[in-house]
Amino acid sequence: MFKTLQTYKLLFFRLITIVLGIEISIYFFKIDLLFTGIFGFFIVFLLVREMYFYVRNFVLLYDKTISSILQNDFSSDFTKHKGDKNYGDLFQLYDTLKSRQNEQISKDIIYSSILNNIETGIIILEKQENDWDIFLMNDYFSSHFNVPKVSKWKYLKNQLPSLCEIIEEDDFHEIKTSVEISINEQAAQTFVLQASKTEIYEREYCIVLLDSIQNVVEKKEKDAWVNLMKVISHELLNSITPIRSICQNLQDLVEQDSLSAEDLEDIKNSVETMLRRSDHLQKFVEGYRKLAMLPSPKKQKIELQPLIENCLQIMNSLFKKDGIEVVNSISLKRPINVDPQQTEQVIINLLTNSVYALKNTTQKQILISAEAKENRTYIKITDTGSGIEKEIENKVFLPFFTTRNEGAGIGLTLSKNIIEAHGGYVSFKTENGKTVFEICLVEG
């Protein structure tokens, strides 16, 4: 602001000088000093000319700078003018915006690089009046589906009609489904399709993600194998390490010329320890065999209520011992198509899990409920225990993972595998501070 006032003062000073020059020149003419008057007018002419070029250069420089800012063109070089204090604020604004644009360009390059290196097809659509433009298409989408990086939705629709029709049917809103896409007249491949809609600064965007089913499965399998190998290696080392240490100790003892009573007692304790660790290892292997060699379910139509009552009868002594109140609110008369023995095993495993969760609580209650929706039956087992900690939520169904000293860590995994073999699923959640395990069975 101060620099702008200085500019105005300079212009005002020039105008005053020109006006005074004209007045003085006219005065010289009036007193018949002709040549002095002409010289005065010549000086005025030079002042006017200087002021004209000053104002013109000033306006042109401002126009050029403002135009560059409005057009996001920061390629101009104003270095030679930066010494002029009259343009200080203007060039400071220009440099600030230029710096921000360079920063934004750097971020855009990084984000584009990240998106182009992800092995998932990504397209981002931007709504323009009644049509959609393709705001971004990553390299994987373009190369994998053999589609050029077009800018209009209608051009993409010509290339991948099966994909675009599904997105249009849901009016570019939330979608999570599978889609079969044929590429270059080859056999159709199945992909996971996810779409979401968002609004930023009054502009609508639709983000579409496409991932090969094979890639999804491979990622899941890889994670599962890594976790499983961690557990197996942990269990093996926990048994092998102490056994090896005991064997070394026994070797030192038997190499002695004579054995004392204390040595014999050490040998006895060492053998007992090896037997315990061997038993533990044997149980671990048997648990793995149970998971790996799970027989196919022999389904039959049965009533849910008698099945639950039979499970409660089996667990009744354990409930009484720990003072647990069990509320069975199942009134469902609809039959379920399951393997009775396997399903009973699942219910008992989940009830046992709830009993353990109630060990250190004052309010000990287990609620069993069920409901039917369309062709699905949902069985819920809710307990008032302390809940499942966030840190272990993703490990609950992991084979051999347990928080119990005496647990084998296969109950929940086995339950999950049994229900999945039936075509359903087992999940858990927390509702009002209570842990809920839910079994979903699909009719058929």
CA distance 214 to 248: 49
Q: Collapsing DSSP states into helix, strand and coil, what is residue 339?
A: coil
| Per-residue model confidence (pLDDT) at position 88 | 59
Q: What confidence tens digit (pLDDT) does each residue in 226-281 have?
A: 666 666 666 666 667 777 777 777 777 777 767 777 777 777 777 777 777 677 66
Q: Are 306 and 260 in contact (CB under 8 A)?
A: no
Q: At what angle do helices 34-70 and 88-117 cross, to 10 degrees?
A: 20
| Per-residue model confidence (pLDDT) at position 1 | 44
DSSP letter at 295 equals P
Burial label, 383 (beta-carbon count in 10 A; 0-12, 13-18, 19+) = buried
Q: What confidence tens digit (pLDDT) does each residue in 185-235 have?
A: 555 677 778 888 888 877 888 888 888 765 655 565 566 666 666 666 666
Q: What confidence tens digit (pLDDT) does each residue in 344-390 have?
A: 888 888 888 888 888 878 888 889 999 888 788 899 988 887 777 66
Cα–Cα distances (Å) from 377 to 134, 296, 382, 414, 420, in that order, read 43, 20, 16, 20, 14
**Beta carbons within 8 Å of 310's beta carbon, 6+ residues apart:** 344
Q: Are 418 and 297 in contact (CB under 8 A)?
A: yes
187-220 core/surface letters (b: 16 or more CB in 10 A; e: else): eeeebbbebebeeeeeeebbebbbbbeeeeeeee
- pTM of the entire predicted model: 0.42
The answer on pLDDT for 291 being more than 60 is no
Q: Are 162 and 179 in contact (CB under 8 A)?
A: yes
Q: Are 365 and 384 in contact (CB under 8 A)?
A: yes
CA distance 33 to 25: 9
Mean pLDDT for 114-132 is 83
Rounded to 5°, the CA angle 156-159-165 comes to 70
Domains of the chain by start residue, with CATH: 2-97 (no CATH), 119-214 (3.30.450.20), 216-292 (1.10.287), 300-442 (3.30.565.10)
Q: Per DSSP, which regions of 84-226 are E strands?
A: 121-128, 131-137, 175-181, 189-200, 203-212
DSSP letter at 36 equals H
